[in-house]
Structure 1
Amino acid sequence: MTEELVSIIVPVYNMGNSLEVCVDSLLKQKYSNIEIVLVDDGSSDNSLEVCYKLQKRDSRIQVYHTENRGSGPARNTGIEKATGRYIYFPDADDKLEEDAIGILVDAMENGRYDLVVFGYQSIDAKGNVVLKKQYPDMKRNGDDVRQDYSDYVVSTRRYGIQGAPWNKFFDLNVIRKHSIRYPSLRRHQDEGFISRYMCYVKNIHFIKAILYNHYLNDLKKEWDKYPVDYVDAVIGLYKTRKETILTWNEKDRRTKEIVEHEYICNMIKAFELSYSPKMKLSGRNRLKWIRKQIERSQVLKVVMPLSLGRYQKIIFTLLKKRHINLAILIMHIKIIIEKNGGLDAFRRLQ
């Protein structure tokens, strides 16, 4: 029996120091019928040079260079170049277990599934495993999942599907047939892609195996990941949710509440990011900017979900009552406490 070709798409942006470790874990796969598509997203370090160096080591590696547009458009370039039957999207600073691709192909073909979801572990900068995410071995019909998506929409839930693409194995035929692409957002593009893919999934295979090692960034790097146009990403994701998830079953109130909870929390995060040095906002300009984003996003028209944490409830209530200056003050205090390592007090309010 002929082994199906698997396309592995790796978006690369300023990953010169870690890319080789990631690609080595791909080249060591026991399932050898793979193509590795490295898409350099306009890196300013030596990432492109590392890509070409790796390409010389193995004929299965392809390298493409694009202007910097974000990981979503970079993955879209990979989709266009891919020639496989199945497609997988790891991050450039993570590692895959050696038997992963073989296990995933078997899981996909044992019933002709459209999506395989698998376990992963998160590892901190000291090499400590701080999280293990495992799914029960189970199979689900796509229509059943869409009718009550509340158990699947949040990545931290037992069956959470939404989130990063690196613990999911996709069918490239489904992507091509329905012209599914990552939205051109600087954040939340993964959730947008998965929401659209889930519209067409006929069946899903969850497997228990932990096959992916996700390496966590420190707080500063996480802060840097948020772009100055983060509000655009939040609004774009909410729009996608309304066009996909919220159309599957109008009676599914739990999923609607989760999506609205997510929207409010993401908008509050966007307001907090007005203190990022990249924004370069003075106090008066920050107030003007937040007012403008409130108007543009229409977030205050969302009914406050009961599930919101106390901190988010306080901020959202103050914004609704137009006490914007007080909300800004509380957000600023939170940011100062976080920067000084005092996270526990605010985590208890989440």
Structure 2
Amino acid sequence: MPSPSPLFDVSFIRTVFMQPVARALEKHYGITTQDLKIPSQLTRQPMALIPFVDVNKWLEETESMIGDAAYMATLAPDISFSNMAKLGDWFLATPELTLSFRRINYGTSCLQSGATFHGELSGKIIKWSYDNHFSKGKGRFHDSLRMAIMFTNTLRHFMGQGYAPKHVEISGPQCGNGQFEAFFGSEIQWNAPRTKVWLDISILEHGNSEPFLDHRPMMLSNLELDEFLNMPQPHDTAKVVYELINYSRYYGYPTIDFIAERLSLSRQQLQRRLHDYGWSFSSITGYVLFNQAIKFMQADMPIKTIAAELGYTNVQSFSKAFQRQRGQTPTQYKERLLERSRF
């Protein structure tokens, strides 16, 4: 039986997965995340989940700001897993390409939902494929280039900077004056249904001459591990709603209109769908914010800072709301929480 259509068809991507693009934009064009009206609190959280609909919009707005549809060609040398800090290093820290190929294909499921990363075998050719039906319009074109470039830079990490894939397929119209053909070093099929980078199957066994630490520990706290493993898929309705509300707090106190806009629904349509699940927006919002507040308390964040992070305009409003929900003031709850964690 086919799976039922998701109630809220939305996917997410982590901030860290977009960091190479953001850093390259600032490096080459002087465009910052603030120029794109992305909250600084969001960019400081590498594991934060962003609805892909917003990333799609940012990619399109970047083209308008630069005035060049081929801007990804300028960014290309810097769009790499190696520019994702220690998490990116993990993807590449293997003795040969075949292990990183597999690690990227399964590991990205914790970085982006609703997309597929896999290899397609065709004779002696492997087509490294990416598909994301949540990308639309010009944003889909730039997103396709983003992943084709990341795949190619991964191949060059093992094969050397002179390596050129056999063929490249891009989901979007032909663009630029040969900049992309020059970067990839191969022919490009434009307007392809999905992104593919072709390589000879024999190179998957190619080793890396650079040193790597196979047993280097990636030190994650329990809270960091919680965040990394938390990647709601489009059919996980409760998780999707939770993360949309959690995301909206970066823009101020969550509102139903903010959420409805990202779901392409009217306010009334969203309210009806929540009602069908027995939910109200205010009750879910309280649940999300106070769960997030407790995570911040575990990290020993000051109560005033917690209130601001959750979108409250003042600490008094937060304290009153928290006490109604939990039966204690935030200060009392935090003191007892930290006391228990010492044992």
The answer to whether the superposition gives a TM-score over 0.5 is no
TM-score (norm 2): 0.32
| Bigger-Rg structure (1/2) | 2
1 or 2 for the larger relative contact order (CA 8 Å, sep ≥6)? 2
- Of Structure 1 and Structure 2, which has the larger fraction of its residues in strand? 1
TM-score (norm 1): 0.31
